[in-house]
Structure 1
Amino acid sequence: MNWSKVSVFAFIIFYGVAGVVHFVNPEVYFPVIPDWLGDPAIINYLAGATELLVAILVIFNRTRKTAGLLAVAMLLAFTISHIYFIMNDSCAGDLCLDPWIGWARLIVIHPLLIWWAYGVSKYGGARL
């Protein structure tokens, strides 16, 4: 089994689904978007559109490197929301989680997603 292909296919599904959720269920994201960033709806839809763009670009060999690097940049920008979530007592609106979950997302899961995106960017010329 070619693990780089599996990784790319999983990446496409992960970011495709994540992007769609921003449009289907946008109110989930509004509470973790700081007011000082601007209109939460616009920020949310831009994030969703970017995730969908990443999912599409990674399909093609010629644009896979760009997709991976765009995902890294997007994930770095999302760090703001992770910190904002922690600063709000690990609550997003009415949904509150144990603080360790917010910290685990910030210092474990988020860096792993960045590492995955960077790894996918290195498969630039690999054919699927």
Structure 2
Amino acid sequence: MRHVIPALRWLLVVFFVVAGTLHFSYPEVYLAIMPPYLPWPAALVAISGVAEILGGLGVALPATRRFAGWGLIALLVAVLPANITMATTGAHPPGIMFSPLVLWLRLPFQLVLMAWVWLVALRDPGRAAS
């Protein structure tokens, strides 16, 4: 496990930085799944993109790892309404079609992402620098 956790941590860093960057490269993908009751969808897409990038980078640094980890978990909770909207309405980003099963599987996948964040950023504060 000595090398596994750091490798998983760097994989998580790349995952969130790339995911956050995609909010700016393809905002229409994220706008398509925004719940209609939320105001300022474009701003929320941009804010969540910045949060993913900063959270990912924060996990890379021992000094900010725990704070960034809690921030990413909060972000994953915050974007749950978009995932619920996709699952319940069948909303799809333009040009991308997912089966209903995939849309519903996105919901428990948020728990997998939270567990991943916990494992590499929050699990053992005494080993945060590893």
TM-score by length of 1: 0.89
Partner amino acid for 2:115?
Answer: W
Number of the residue aligned with 1:26: 27
Shift of 1:113: 0.3
Q: 1:111 aligned to 2:114?
A: no
**Cα deviation, residue 82, structure 1:** 0.8
Contact (CA 8 Å) 1:32, 1:85: kept in 2 or not? Answer: yes
| C-alpha displacement of 1:73 | 0.5
C-alpha spacing 1:52/1:6, structure 2 compared with 1 (3 Å): same
Residue-by-residue CA offset, 1:51-74 (whole Å, 9 max, x unaligned): 011012112111101111111110
Q: 2:35 aligned with 1:37, yes or no?
A: no
Deviates more, 1:34-43 or 1:84-93: 84-93
Most deviating of 118-127 and 13-22: 118-127
Q: Give yes or no for contact 1:19–1:48 (8 Å, CA) kept in 2.
A: yes
* 1:59 maps to 2:60: yes
How far apart are residue 101 of structure 1 and its match?
0.4
Partner of 2:102: 101
- Give the paired residue count: 127
Offset at residue 37 of structure 1 (A): 1.0
Q: Which amino acid aligns with 1:82?
A: N
Letter of the 1:60 counterpart: L
Q: Percent identity?
A: 26
Runs of 4+ in 1 over 4 A off after TM superposition: none
The structural deviation recorded for 1:90 is 4.9
Q: Give the 3-state SS of the residue equivalent to 1:58 in structure 2.
A: helix
| Aligned residues: CA RMSD | 1.7
What is the alpha-carbon distance in structure 1 between the residues aligned to residue 98 and residue 70 of structure 2?
31
Q: Is the 8 A contact 1:15 1:52 kept in 2?
A: yes
Structure 2, unpaired ranges of 5+: none
